[in-house]
Structure 1
């Protein structure tokens, strides 16, 4: 029986990602990669029109001297960093290599050429070691990571809450349907406001209780109980300043964790 995957939030801002292929599958990868701020190097002889329109605006083919384009004004979340409009060459694996460091946080292949995809996978492992993270589209045994179904809460530029569901490569469309069901169940809740409130409250109580490990433990337990008291439907309406005063009172009272009755909490500490 296969083991479970460890679901992690991968921080990619400013880090190099190699994407081989520029078709429809590659487009689905770019939709997830670009918002992370990753520096994507795309290698493909032909590029899907949608990828051109959305992620390659810095390229002017009429002024190009070769087929290797780098966005000299690239900034995080703007688009791809580099396009090599050629067939893949294994030497491209060493584009950003420094000694034993491959320079790639991720290596992804999205091409219909199965032998080449497998060669890229095995050569990446040979050159950089088994720890190099590689994903070969539509080939689960050659995937160190999977792209699950994501649900983002908040605006495109300020998403603080994300959910991911993975079938470990077994049924991507099925988990997308599960994601859509969850989205419908949670519609109407302002998660961005909730997280902003909780983040502000967390920062405020940290300034009060930050002396030692006992303070840290108390603060974490207090935040846990406070969040559970209001639940997911009410945190968007928290009165952060009033709750900060409550924390100060409870902290001064021998680090008390006995909250007021729920009806009092709702009446006094919600907008």
Structure 2
């Protein structure tokens, strides 16, 4: 084994955040407040399939929050926050899994933060980084693709600018291509479900992802994906024109692929 002092390892860069994709589907999130910031938080939560409960007097709701309550299944409690909200929320009567505070009252916000800490409920107090268990970054969304840019609470507007730049430079159709790859993975797992086949599945899917362009991936039909799966057992990945030639029920043996007419080759 090489001397540890001779090995190169990444340098530690303190002061960052652990960026995670938090799965809150079907979990209950309490939003205190009903203004513009709360509206953005609520949309993020609904995109993640959370159950959202908004505690705010009706006169404090902005038009977007009113719309979410009326149309998107958001539960509204028409009053100011009370400590018992951390114990039981409608309609389930359970405590929240997460709390987001977006009100123009620093003292009240800090009190809610302290109550959340006592109950070990993760919380975010808008615009107060020191009273946050987590931050909201600026997110680019294209179907299943999500890219978050975070400045660790130091420059939200800069994060938004960087996010827009990234979005403008991504290939067209990248979200659709990822969707197709996801469908192919599901089909492959159904075809080869054994746990011990996991490493081989991952290696083959990596080769498939590297073999086709974004546009090519988007253009794959369900028949193309079924035909592509036929190459899994031999650990091969055909070129796109071979898959197109197999459309209509043809199999590789039916194709005159070795005389150069299709230029058949297999990605190494």
Task: Note whether the superposition's TM-score is higher than 0.5.
Answer: yes
Aligned: 1:218 with 2:192: no
Would you say 1:265 and 2:216 are equivalent positions? Answer: no
Structure 2: how far apart are the matches of 1:28 and 1:86? 20
Q: In the TM superposition, what are the counterparts of 1:169-180 in structure 2 within 5 Å?
A: 169-180=153-164
After superposition, residues 128-143 of structure 1 pair within 5 angstroms as 128-129=119-120, 132-143=121-132
* Residues 23-172 of structure 1: pairs in structure 2 closer than 5 A: 23-45=35-57, 46-57=59-70, 78-81=72-75, 83-96=76-89, 103-126=95-118, 128-129=119-120, 132-154=121-143, 160-172=144-156
Pick closer, same or farther for the CA change 1:270–1:8 going to 2, 3 Å.
farther
Q: Which residue of 1 aligns with 2:253?
A: none
User: Which runs of 5 or more structure 1 residues have no equivalent in the other structure?
Assistant: 59-77, 155-159, 251-258
Where in structure 2 are the equivalents of 1:194-205 lying within 5 Å? Answer: 194-205=177-188
Asked whether the 8 Å contact 1:237–1:270 carries over to 2, the reply is no
Q: Using the TM superposition, give the Cα deviation of residue 231 of structure 1 relative to its aligned residue in structure 2, in angstroms.
A: 4.3
Give the alignment's TM-score, normalised by structure 1: 0.74
| Cα distance in 2 for residues equivalent to 1:207 and 1:35 | 27
Alignment: residue pair count: 227
The RMSD of aligned alpha carbons is 2.6
Q: Secondary structure at the match of 2:233?
A: helix
1 or 2 for the larger relative contact order (CA 8 Å, sep ≥6)? Answer: 1
Please tell me whether residue 5 in structure 1 is matched to residue 17 in structure 2: yes
Report which of the two structures shows the higher radius of gyration computed on alpha carbons.
Answer: 2
Per the TM alignment, residue 137 of structure 1 is displaced from its structure 2 partner at its CA by 0.5
Whole-angstrom distance in 1 between the partners of 2:195 and 2:62: 57
In structure 1, the partner of 2:252 is none
Kept in 2, the 8 Å contact 1:34–1:79? The answer is no
CA contact (8 A) 2:101 2:109 kept: yes
- Gapped regions of structure 2 (runs ≥ 5): 1-12, 246-268
Verify the 8 A CA contact 2:39 2:65 in the aligned structure 1. no
Take 1:89 and 1:195, find their aligned partners in 2: how far apart are those partners?
44
Kindly provide the CA deviation profile for residues 74-120 of structure 1, in whole angstroms up to 9, marking residues without a partner as x.
xxxx2312x222222222222249xxx97212111111111111111
Q: SS of 1:151's equivalent?
A: strand
Which range moved further: 1-10 or 109-118? Answer: 1-10
Deviation at 1:234, TM superposition (A): 3.0
1:20 and 2:9 correspond? no
